[in-house]
Amino acid sequence: MYRLLRAPLQPVTYSRWLHLCVPVLLLALWMFIEPAWPWMPLVIVIPFGLVPWVRLAEGLQAQFLLTPHGHGNPDSGISAAPSARWGDRWRTLLWLEARLVIALAAMAATVWLPVATVELVAAALGHPLNSDLMIPYSPPRWAAALLVPVPLVLLIVIVVLLGELVTAVARRLLGPSAAERLTVLEARTEQLLERTRIARELHDSIGHALTVAVVQAGAARAAGNPEFTDRALSAIEETGRAALEDLERVLLVLRESARPVSQRPTLAEADRLLESARASGSEVDAQLTGPLEQLPGPVTREGYRILQEALTNVLRHCGPVPVRVRVEMAVGRLDMEVTNPLPEGPTYVPGGGSGLRGMRERAALLGGEAETGPFEGSWRVRARLPLERIR
């Protein structure tokens, strides 16, 4: 009831009303051509429903006029894309037929109820009714005056209900197909994974650097020893420089996250990762075999990220040490392996880092696995990504 009371003040009520009235133009035009066959427009729209681009036009119109936030609203439930399959074409045809039927009901209410209001006003003023088609009986003047607003209220109610009906039908018949929903889900999953990984990177690297800087500054102030203060400032400088490098790397990931999924870097571009590692002082022994450019999209994108994480962890935790990289397309899977020697003395054990957790999560998302750990006096990152279930 509250929605009906608010309906006359809502712009979407009138945009939906306009959407309901658009097919009336086709009905009115046909009535001038052959009024004896009023059902003929239902036949005329059949070939149009099978044209792929008609679905795009109907989706854009429905998004703009039926949904509260207009065109481009991701939550409208209405797709704005051409028909990709025959199932989409049949649904478009059903939509055109349903839209004509609902428009016919809207046209009858739009024409009959305002005319009935005019007739009631005339009867209230003492004028005789012109016909009994709009009002089946002649009410007394006082009754006609009381009934004047009823047709208008009924018109608003009918328009609101038909607007809700046509919107529900549009979401059902013009909604995204299963393939479109999977594409959107993949993009959203990719975004969530990137945001989670970036949050871990910021927490582990930047948070750690700030903590060290604060502790060192506090200790230097409390010690009051110039020699200790000098060492503390050197440590703060080194930590800050490392934090800036980590921040620059995270910002690079953020800039790439705004790119469409299809434009993300792939394993076919792995040479730039290897060259970057060599420019940092590492000796990289790389062997990439197989047609990597033919890998499925999700596998080649996630494989690039896994290789990027592995090389980054080597440089961060072990320095410019020799690195052995193997990427190979085996039967039904992609094998990746990055091996590097561990530096002597106490060092950071990378088994619990957020980057390694991210590699495992990326591999698990594709149904594969990634493992890290010591191997013959070295540290090894190995990943296996299946190909069969991705195609």
Q: Is 50 exceeded by the pLDDT of residue 375?
A: yes
CA–CA gap between residue 294 and residue 344 (Å, rounded)? 41
pLDDT, position 77: 76
User: Are the CB atoms for 334 and 359 separated by under 8 Å?
Assistant: no
Where residue 351 falls among pLDDT bands split at 50, 70, 90?
very low
53 or 234: whose pLDDT is higher? 53
Contact 163, 17 (CB under 8 A): yes
In 3-state terms, what secondary structure has residue 23? Answer: coil
Distance CA 190, CA 195 (A): 9
Query: pLDDT at position 261, please?
Result: 52
Q: What is the pLDDT of residues 9-68, one digit of tens each?
A: 788 888 888 888 888 888 778 777 777 787 788 888 888 888 888 888 888 888 888 887
pLDDT of residue 29: 80
Higher-confidence position of 312 and 337: 337
pLDDT score recorded for residue 46: 85
For residue 291, give the nearest of 235, 237, 336, 330 by alpha carbon.
330
Model pLDDT, residue 108: 87
Using 50, 70 and 90 to split pLDDT, how confident is the model at 172?
confident
Q: pLDDT tens digit string along 283-318? A: 889 999 888 888 888 888 888 888 888 887 887 777
Residue 328 has a pLDDT of 92
**Pairing state between β 378-386 and 333-341:** antiparallel
Instruction: Report the distance separating Cα 105 and Cα 102, nearest Å.
Output: 5
Q: What is the mean pLDDT of residues 156-160?
A: 89
Whole-number average pLDDT of the chain: 79
- The pLDDT value recorded for residue 203 is 64
User: What pLDDT does residue 348 have?
Assistant: 46
Residue 390: C-alpha distances to residues 81, 202, 365, 368 (Å)? 24, 31, 11, 11
pLDDT-wise least confident of 71-80, 228-237, 270-279, 350-359: 350-359
What is the pLDDT at residue 306?
87
Who wins on pLDDT, 323 or 205? 323
pLDDT of amino acid 383: 92
pLDDT of residue 285: 92
Sign, CA torsion 225/230/231/232: positive
Q: What is the pLDDT of residues 246-261, one digit of tens each?
A: 677 667 666 655 555 5
**Segment among 8-22, 344-358, 375-389 with least mean pLDDT:** 344-358
pLDDT exceeds 60 at position 199: yes
Non-local CB neighbours of 282 within 8 Å, separated by 6+ positions? 314, 315, 320, 321, 322, 323
Nearest Cα to 59, choosing from 17, 92, 36? 92
Provide the H-helix boundaries in the chain: 2-6, 11-21, 24-33, 40-49, 52-66, 86-124, 141-147, 149-173, 178-201, 207-223, 226-257, 270-279, 297-318, 354-365
pTM of the model as a whole: 0.49
Which residues partner with 382 through β-bridges?
337, 371
- Among 299, 291, 263, smallest CA distance to 390 is for 299
At residue 131, the pLDDT reads: 56
CA 334 to CA 292: how far, in whole Å? 9
CA 77 vs CA 52, 64, 101: distances in Å: 19, 12, 22
